[in-house]
A and B are shown apart, each in its own frame.
Chain A
């Protein structure tokens, strides 16, 4: 009995050791690879180093977007003692509860610093540095933050950046994006995000259980993003923004030689810095909810009826199709009977223009003349020429979210309203009313094409090295017809009957066309587009004032100021 008990005990003892051996085999050999991985993750840590974002310059080398130092208050919660909370809260003007909340917010790994307050003023950062002995665990971290020195001046062109969101981060390249990375959200910042971004670097460091660095295992320095130079002239842009301040308006100026935009202004604008600074959330909210939509770029993001400016298109279509000659005359008694319905369409000039030819019709912007022209054209013919001249066509401008205008035709009408096209609608279309919608930049492109005698133009914002290589494509409109239009546009400003005489400048000849687009129930939209000087044009421009009233008054006055500024800044100094 006792003998067998003794052996029984031996078996149990060796069995227990055997179980231990098998368990160790399981943990160390069968699962060893898994635990080896966990131990590496435990003690090796990747500290990402963000690349500095490329800067954006204007054509004269002035900084439009750059990076400045941001002083962030960070704390390693494990090192913070309880008396730090009230002191820090007092210094930062925060509630103690909020400081605690920031301290316990989610972090990537233990002993990672938590951001208590980002981007504090420099003086406050120095104060905290000085008082460091009484604030254990708290440090000031200097990081790069985007800065737009000229705030509102070119906000729609440059755009802004924002923090990456979780979904974007998930599918992004870790070499380029981190959890705290910023991404271009609008304008150049968005379109050229890839170039401006650069490549992140990082340090692989070994840490102990307290998270203290033991040594650096490997380093890869970050590569800064590429700088960009725009075609914009900051000074011109700034002066133009001043002209349209307080209005809902847009002005764009193109250099006809390079086809680059010298200015692209939209008012009201916003300060892109508020999207960078985390503390400006109330400003962001007010910008986003403002009834005047300061976020909207009126030169490319919205389309409006072009009004009389569209008469240029109608005239070109009729000329090129041989429906009229420049000398074709129609009589304007201010009234025009539409088709069989007998409805009366009116000219804006109540006493009528009398018998006029095409030059005079454009010069005085006579509606009745163009109603008569429209009687000889189909809507599809007008639409074809509008598209040929770039209206309603996509643009290759380096800004995302371009909204093309709308050029209606009979097929569109059928698809949209399930109705045939009525002739009365052709009359409306011929004078740029009805369904026709354009963006100011489309009008600028149209004017530039006319100014360049039919050479196709594509406006751009980033300066190109191969500027001299101009687009060889031409629009299929005879040059002589374009010449007629150019001469008519000259008369709009220079003739004493012209609708655009208020834009006349004394130093050279301007060719332009005004537009007053009816948009009931409120005031009309005011337009003017043109090129300057008439001989050997250097620039093309468009002025648009939303609800600005008469094009010949509101826009023409702005155009005149704008030309004077342009001359001051750009024209060769001739005494």
Chain B
């Protein structure tokens, strides 16, 4: 039975997932043990739920998900519209839906719903038989949730759709000229997106370009998180001993800024450990992609990988001033049920690709 399990589940991917989740649990504790929330206990619960969901999805296989892709897509669009109407506002943004005790973040579901719809749409169309209209269709599929999420406003999450779309297009076999035209199109859309942004978002981007613009206002978080990570130096200040995070100089340190805790308390060694685990995860996904001949499976795995990479790049990048401050969690590490469950579903789909490699 156990051997069967190992045969079915790509061991290095599972190892990477468990490793990252464990790091997350330890540092959620470090970030919040002063507070009464018991977030690490809640996270253990979410990790358990997530792993069960991952296994379930892996056994279910990706095909049923793809066949219901438009249903998921429509559902997540509906949730995004709902969040505009009745969503609860937190930190100036409408991102959450509350159903009794359960609070969900529809944009998390929209990422996966959109990916499934996109993969299903492109996977059934041959890139060698006229690309232009197909590309327009794919862009439209992505554009609807993208605009809704920008409107929330949640610029960080919205940004993640772009690398996802690019990778899926790329693997599908988009012609270089269309890829370049799309890239130009994205650039051309920038001024319009800028107009849609709220003032605080514009300020964040301006401050990102010049952190000295407002060191005590919106630049404060950027400066403090960089100090936190940098002050870890090579070996860190020791577990539970980070002053920047323990003394609340960095906000949101069990969710979006958890990397500050790791960087400060474990230093560059810890940062490298986290990056290596992500690299290992991505390497596993690539390995799985190599063994499938189903174009849809390949596109799906590539899209999942792009989503993960986008999260990692924006999240770690913002703590060291490489990216503007955005409310994007660090996948599998940051505290949060919606995020962990969605990541589990996504990785479950990738695992099912591996499991079904023997089908051909």
Query: Residue of B at shortest CB range from A37?
Result: B231
Which residue from chain B places its CB closest to the CB of A44 in the assembled complex? B243
**Do residues B231 and A35 form an inter-chain contact, with CB atoms below 8 A?**
yes
Residues of A within 8 A of B243 (CB): 39-40, 42-43, 206
Q: Note all chain A residues with C-beta closer than 8 A to B170.
A: 5, 9
Does A38 contact B312, Cβ atoms closer than 8 Å?
A: no
B282, A14: Cβ atoms closer than 8 Å:
yes
Task: Choose one: B226, B228, B244, B282; the contact of A17 (CB below 8 Å).
Answer: B282
On whether the beta carbons of A25 and B268 are closer than 8 Å, the reply is yes
**A28 and B282 contact, CB distance less than 8 A:** no
Among listed B77-85, B195-203, B316-324, interface-contacting one: B316-324
Using known A-B contacts A9-B171, A10-B286, A209-B249, determine if residue A20 contacts B233 with beta carbons closer than 8 Å: no
**Smallest Cβ distance from A345 to chain B, in angstroms?**
80
Q: A29-B268, A42-B227 are in contact. Are A17 and B278 (CB under 8 A)?
A: yes
Which residue in chain B gives the minimum CB-CB distance to A32? Answer: B233
- CB contacts under 8 Å to A, within B287-340, are 289-290, 302, 305, 309, 312-313, 316-317, 320-322
Q: Which of A2, A27, A208 contacts B226 (CB 8 A)?
A: A27
Complex contact B167–A24 (CB within 8 A): no
A interface residue count range (under 10 / 10 to 19 / 20 to 34 / 35 or more): 35 or more
Q: A315-330 toward B: CB 8 Å interface, digit per residue (1/0)?
A: 0000000000000000
User: Which residues of chain B from 50 to 82 have a CB within 8 Å of any chain A CB?
Assistant: none
Cβ contact within 8 Å between B233 and A29: yes
Pick the contact of A27: B171, B230, B244 (CB < 8 A).
Answer: B230
Q: In the complex, how many angstroms separate the beta carbon of A368 from the nearest chain B beta carbon?
A: 84
Q: With a CB–CB cut-off of 8 A, which chain A residues contact B322?
A: 20, 23
- The answer, among B216, B248, B305, for a CB contact under 8 Å with A13, is B305
Q: How far is the CA of A110 from the CA of B215 in the complex (A)?
A: 13
Given contacts A5-B171, A17-B279, A17-B282, contact A34 B247 (CB under 8 A): no
CB of A513 to closest CB in B, whole Å:
72
Measured between alpha carbons, how far is A332 from B243 in the docked complex, in Å? 95
Please state if A28 and B275 are interface contacts (CB–CB under 8 Å). no
Contact between A28 and B248, CB atoms less than 8 A apart: no
Pair B302/A9 contact, Cβ less than 8 Å: yes
Whether the Cβ atoms of B248 and A208 lie closer than 8 Å is: yes
Residue A573, interface by CB 8 Å:
no
The answer to whether A24 and B227 have CB atoms under 8 Å apart is no
A-B contact pairs, 10 of them (CB 8 A): A2-B173, A10-B286, A17-B282, A17-B309, A27-B320, A29-B233, A35-B230, A40-B231, A42-B247, A43-B244
B residues near A, CB below 8 A?
Answer: 167, 170-171, 173, 216, 224, 226-234, 243-244, 247-249, 263-264, 267-268, 271-272, 275, 278-279, 282, 286, 289-290, 302, 305, 309, 312-313, 316-317, 320-322
Binding site for B on A (CB under 8 A): 1-2, 5-6, 9-10, 13-14, 16-17, 20-21, 23-25, 27-29, 31-36, 38-40, 42-43, 110, 206-210, 214
